[in-house]
Amino acid sequence: MWKKILGIGASKREKDLVALYDRVPKEKRPRHIAIIMDGNGRWAEGKGLIRTAGHRAGVHTLRSILQVCVDLGIEVLTVYAFSTENWKRPRPEVDFLMSLFSEYLEKEIQEMEDNHVRLRFLGREDGMSEALLRQMHGAEDRLAAGDGLQFNIAANYGGQDEILRAVRTLAARAAAGDLAPDAIDAAAFSAALDTAGQPPVDLMIRTSGDLRLSNFLLWQAAYAEFWFTETNWPDFTPEEFVQAIVDFAQRKRRFGGLNPRKGK
């Protein structure tokens, strides 16, 4: 079982994190946090290890960040696990990532269930093996009743691909006479995306120093605040994660309007 931060057995470090988060006013907390978990390869190379060792180490980080999100009561966490462009990598690395993915699901599903996590995969299915797809669907079904953290894993995901799939779905409905083209507004479009029903991204975190989106959540991140760190994903800590949230809470979001203070 994951330790509940405020429960028996919680360490001072865990309590400090919660205390830090508690000081962030409720209305300033991000509802949806997205993470581009980058830098596994660089982490491994820096240690003289093979790249796949970095991916394995990255799974430990994901485990701790998911746990923190559960404990803090975050509403939605979306992580970028494999992009539609990552198929360009050498076959052994791709195969390793797919098997790591399956191992992760197998090992973590019970704890996710115990913690009321609801799971959804974002992305396209083709290219993934039948066995892995069965496992992914099985995990989604098993956690469908979860009323805690909404956890999205973007696997075989590309923002452009997601938008195109949504466009095709809507166009097919329009062609069939089920949908008036004028009815395709932002809400209808959002509802055709893989993240249907979920709030837009508030905070987008990318580790490992690159300052780009790499085709992640193009629509959903329209007004996201960005937070970058040089830390490679395997070294990313719950402290840094909470620091990102604290920094986010200090940003002034305008959504195209005036600065609330000056605008009054």
Of 75 and 210, nearer to ligand IPE (C-beta) is: 210
Indicate whether 236 belongs to the interface with ligand IPE (CB under 6 A).
no
**Whole-number Å distance between alpha carbons of 27 and 31:** 9
Q: 42 touches which of Mg ion, ligand IPE, none (CB within 5 to 8 A by kind)?
A: ligand IPE
Could you tell me if residue 7 is left (phi over 0), alpha (psi between -120 and 50 degrees) or otherwise beta?
beta
Indicate whether 101 belongs to the interface with ligand IPE (CB under 6 A).
no
From 86, 210, 215, 235, the catalytic residue: 86
Altogether, the residues listed in the chain come to a count of 264
Among 17, 67, 80, 98, the residue binding ligand IPE under the rule CB under 6 A is 80
Residue 233: name the closest of 210, 201, 203, 199 by CA: 210
Residue 117: name the closest of 77, 154, 80, 155 by CA: 77
Indicate whether 57 belongs to the interface with ligand IPE (CB under 6 A).
no
Binding segment for ligand IPE (CB under 6 A), chosen from 30-38, 116-124, 136-144, 180-188, is 30-38
With contact defined as beta carbons under 8 Å apart, do 229 and 205 qualify? yes
- 126 part of the active site: no
Q: How far apart are the first and last CA of the chain?
A: 49
Binding segment for ligand IPE (CB under 6 A), chosen from 4-12, 34-42, 171-179, 254-262, is 34-42
How many other C-beta atoms can be found within 10 angstroms of the C-beta atom of residue 116?
A: 13
Among 14, 21, 41, 69, the residue binding ligand IPE under the rule CB under 6 A is 41
Indicate whether 210 belongs to the interface with ligand IPE (CB under 6 A).
yes
Indicate whether 81 belongs to the interface with ligand IPE (CB under 6 A).
yes
- Which 8-state DSSP code applies to residue 4? P
Residues of this chain that bind Mg ion (CB under 5 A): 38
Specify burial of residue 37 (Cβ count, 10 A radius: 0-12, 13-18, 19+): buried
With contact defined as beta carbons under 8 Å apart, do 135 and 96 qualify? no
CB of 108 to ligand IPE, least distance (A): 17
For residue 259, give the amino acid letter.
N
Among 29, 32, 42, 120, the residue binding ligand IPE under the rule CB under 6 A is 42
Please report, as residue ranges, which positions from 105 to 164 form the binding site for ligand IPE (by CB under 6 A). Answer: none
From 16, 22, 38, 40, the catalytic residue: 38
Indicate whether 231 belongs to the interface with ligand IPE (CB under 6 A).
no
How do strand 32-36 and strand 203-206 relate by DSSP bridges?
A: parallel
Binding segment for ligand IPE (CB under 6 A), chosen from 24-32, 174-182, 207-215, 220-228, is 207-215
CB-facing half-sphere around the CA of 216: CA atoms within 13 A: 28
What positions carry a catalytic annotation?
38, 86
| Contact positions vs ligand IPE (CB under 6 A) | 36-42, 80-83, 86, 97, 208, 210, 212, 214
